[in-house]
Amino acid sequence: MATAVSSVAATCRVAKQAASRLARTDTAVKDAALNAIATALEERLPEILAANERDMQLAAEADIGAALLDRLRLDESRVAAIAAAVRQIAALADPVGEVIDGHRLPNGLDVVKVRVPLGVVAVVYEARPNVTIDATALCLKSGNAIVLRGSSTATHSNHALAGIAADAAIAAGLPDGCVSLVSGGGRAELAELATQRDSVDLIIPRGGESLKEALQAVATVPVIYAASGNCHVYVDRTADLDQAEAVVINAKTQRPGVCNAAETLLVHEHIAPAFVPRIVRSLAAAGVEIRADRRTSELAGGQAGIVRAEEADWATEYLAPIIAVRVLDSLEDAIEHIGRYGSGHSEAILTADTAAARAFQLGVDAACVYVNASTRFTDGGEFGMGAEIGNSTQKLHARGPIGLRELCTFKYLVEGDGHVRI
């Protein structure tokens, strides 16, 4: 297989050599490689589904839970969507060489700031085989070599997908080593990957807090954390109840096992008597368990499916059909609650008050802040990026969906005519 190299260190060295060539590769060659990957995914669908079925059987035996099983599962429609995303990325503008800024200095020197690839990007992810292709396509388009390290849960799926992508990319003219997969070494392998300072330029982990903590303990390579999403929906005093109900249900139930699903519902006390009984009934009917504060419990009037919330519930990313619900006195209290318990991922307000919406946008510290829309839109594909490697909850160097431009750095190109500094 084109992805097989003897060790983590050797894999990263080969990727570094590939990155040097990729940085100089024409857009047309990169686009042809991405389209070849998309076609190969469609043509080798039975091979992909057979590998995924092996992972699904082992995962079910290990009882990993419904949310993780949903992340792991591939079917014909999901593979088709992955291939479509690859083609969408191929159709996007190439960020490499894009002029960010430029000017002529008083001394006559021309200074141009342009985007350039980072080099070698390592992506560490949990049971999401689609990330294998999404990350590969984004890295190749942005001129980066990629080293993939998936979880043991998706071993067979990742090997199949990475092998198909590498074979197609190399056959289309990209350098050997542009796509690599390392797996099977547990935490020791992760630590080795996270310390390849001579060959790896960036690591992006896509997973829960345990993965983040494991990398924080050992990484010497720069890291952008695409970590947890403890997302909130706040229903303000002027919210349209029909709209608010639809958004809350979508944000919680459309796909509860993902990082942009809502985990906490906050309700202004003015609207709570009308809204809380209604939304509790709807959530319960959708199979959602409610962790409620005292005021929510009282307003719900003893409806089924309600558990009294504990302090830990406000800080929990459930990734399951569970939601914490709290009634608050004011918009300011909602902003304070989110600031205390939120993870900086995605937050939403439902309101008809423009001033309240603006205050929420300015006051909430998160990568994505929504007004009258579901948090489920925080996604590279939905944002027109084709796909994403993850959603950064950091403030440097990337924030929110990590797409093509976030996989670039920049350099200054300076041209003169025999200039010397006096």
Residues 181 and 169: their CA atoms lie apart, in Å, by 14
- 231-377 CATH: 3.40.309.10
Report the candidate in 346, 345, 339 with the shortest Cα–Cα distance to residue 392. 345
Q: Look at phi and psi of residue 400 and say left if phi exceeds 0, alpha if psi is from -120 to 50, else beta.
A: left
**Domain 8-223+389-415 identical in fold to domain 231-377:** no
Q: Are 300 and 292 in contact (CB under 8 A)?
A: yes
Residues 292 and 280: their CA atoms lie apart, in Å, by 10
User: For strand 110-117 and strand 408-415, is the pairing parallel, antiparallel, or unpaired?
Assistant: antiparallel
309, amino acid identity: A
Report the candidate in 151, 124, 131, 144 with the shortest Cα–Cα distance to residue 201. 144
pLDDT of residue 269: 98
pLDDT of residue 62: 93
Alpha carbons within 13 A on the beta-carbon side of 338: 32
CATH architecture group of domain 8-223+389-415: 3-Layer(aba) Sandwich (3.40)
Per-residue pLDDT of the chain (422 residues; tens, 9 = 90+): 444 445 899 999 999 999 999 999 999 999 999 999 999 999 999 999 999 999 999 999 999 888 788 889 999 999 999 999 999 999 999 999 999 999 999 999 999 999 999 999 999 998 889 999 999 999 999 999 999 999 889 999 999 999 999 999 999 999 999 999 997 667 888 999 999 999 999 999 987 778 888 898 999 999 998 768 999 999 999 999 999 999 999 999 999 988 999 999 999 999 999 999 999 999 999 999 999 999 999 999 878 779 999 999 999 999 999 999 999 999 999 999 999 999 999 999 999 999 999 999 999 999 999 999 999 999 988 998 888 888 998 888 899 999 999 999 999 999 999 999 99
pLDDT of residue 372: 98
pLDDT of residue 388: 87
Report the candidate in 89, 88, 114 with the shortest Cα–Cα distance to residue 100. 114
Exposure string over 198-209, b if 16+ CB within 10 A, otherwise e: ebbbbbbbbbee
Domain ranges of the chain: 8-223+389-415, 231-377
pLDDT of residue 396: 83
pLDDT of residue 228: 81
Does the pTM surpass 0.85? The reply is: yes
